[in-house]
Amino acid sequence: MKIDCDDFRVLEGKKAGLEKRPTTIKPLYKSRNHYRELIEEYLADLTVQQSLLYANNDHSLLLIFQAMDAAGKDSAIKHVMSGVNPQGCQVYSFKHPSTAELAHDFLWRTTRCLPERGQIGIFNRSYYEEVLIVRVQPEILRSEGLPSEALEVRDFWQERYRSITGLENHLYRNGTRIIKFFLHLSKEEQRKRFLRRIDEPDKNWKFSMADIEQRKFWTQYQEAYEACLGATSTANSPWYAVPADDKQNAHLIISQIILNALKDLRMSYPKADLARRRELKAIRKRLAK
């Protein structure tokens, strides 16, 4: 499988251009069986890379997933990371902040959940909610208890973008690699998926009236994502706008991007120095007796 991941990358300092980016592309697989083969190949490679990440213990990987409702974040995380050792992976889903979380700055609750060195961390939604849903629905912002002078800053959202990129640059310098995925879903495909959630009893639990209420703000959300991706995609912590109308395609693209990020670390298993080899030799002699 050959995927040019740069096709989906939002370049630093450039507009995201979401209205021109496709929500669907030509299938990267020939059949269901072919798709399974490709995913299994990826999982085998990922298993090796995760083991190397854990063994080296000097970097971590943070994967951030953002999207409109029904875009397939849960599905992507489930399928793409299914081969990962649970001991080396942490998944966090962020919903409406608690009272305790609202008593801190907007980056606090997610910062506590950052992956340790040697680990892969996954954020299903993230601190980016604070420049997306909060921007579309400003009444949420007014409930956050910010001082009036902070709310009156003319370039309020630009300040938040700077806080985010400042954090991500700090994390990069300290060994955390951040890959951010925007699952780019069409409004029509979302409508079809909502209908399936209503029509299929096993999927009823996934749907609520709140989903329909949020759909009313589709245009505003697209504008918020456009501004956010353009302002916060950097060379070190890029955004990828992944076509999400075809879930299998999306899984393959995400898989390749993650694998590329890990391989870019050029990891190998740590080699034992002379003292360590002598220690192991002595232990072996004791075990042999």
Span 190-204, pLDDT tens digits:
999 999 999 999 989
Residue 69 has pLDDT above 90, yes or no: yes
Buried b (16+ CB within 10 A) or exposed e, 197-206: beeeeeeeeb
Residue 71 has pLDDT above 70, yes or no: yes
Tokens of 90: 């942490």
CATH code for the domain defined by 5-288: 3.40.50.300
- Helix (H/G/I), strand (E/B), else coil: 94: coil
Q: Which residue has the tokens 């608690």?
A: 98
- Domain residue ranges in the chain: 5-288
Most confident range (mean pLDDT) of 119-128, 198-207, 278-287 is: 119-128
The pLDDT value recorded for residue 96 is: 86
The pLDDT value recorded for residue 58 is: 96
Closest CA to 64 of 163, 185, 182: 182
What does the pLDDT average to over 10-34? 96
The model's confidence at residue 255, banded by pLDDT at 50, 70 and 90, is very high
Mean pLDDT of the chain: 94
The pLDDT value recorded for residue 149 is: 86
Considering the chain, what percentage of its residues have pLDDT values greater than 70?
100
Closest CA to 93 of 75, 116, 69, 110: 110
Residue 252 has pLDDT above 70, yes or no: yes
The pLDDT value recorded for residue 1 is: 60
| Contact yes or no for 254/181 (Cβ under 8 A) | yes
Higher-scoring residue by pLDDT: 76, 86: 76
Tokens of 272: 């034992």
Across the chain, where does the E strand assignment appear? 9-10, 60-67, 89-93, 120-124, 176-184, 239-243
State residue 118 phi and psi, 5-degree precision. 90, 0
pLDDT one-digit tens code per residue, 105-118: 999 999 999 999 99
Residue 256 has pLDDT above 80, yes or no: yes
The model's confidence at residue 289, banded by pLDDT at 50, 70 and 90, is confident
Higher-scoring residue by pLDDT: 285, 173: 173
The pLDDT value recorded for residue 104 is: 92
User: How far is the C-alpha of 276 from the C-alpha of 205, rounded, in Å?
Assistant: 55
The pLDDT value recorded for residue 277 is: 87
What does the pLDDT average to over 39-43? 94
Closest CA to 106 of 57, 153, 164: 164
Residue 36 has pLDDT above 80, yes or no: yes
The pLDDT value recorded for residue 151 is: 86
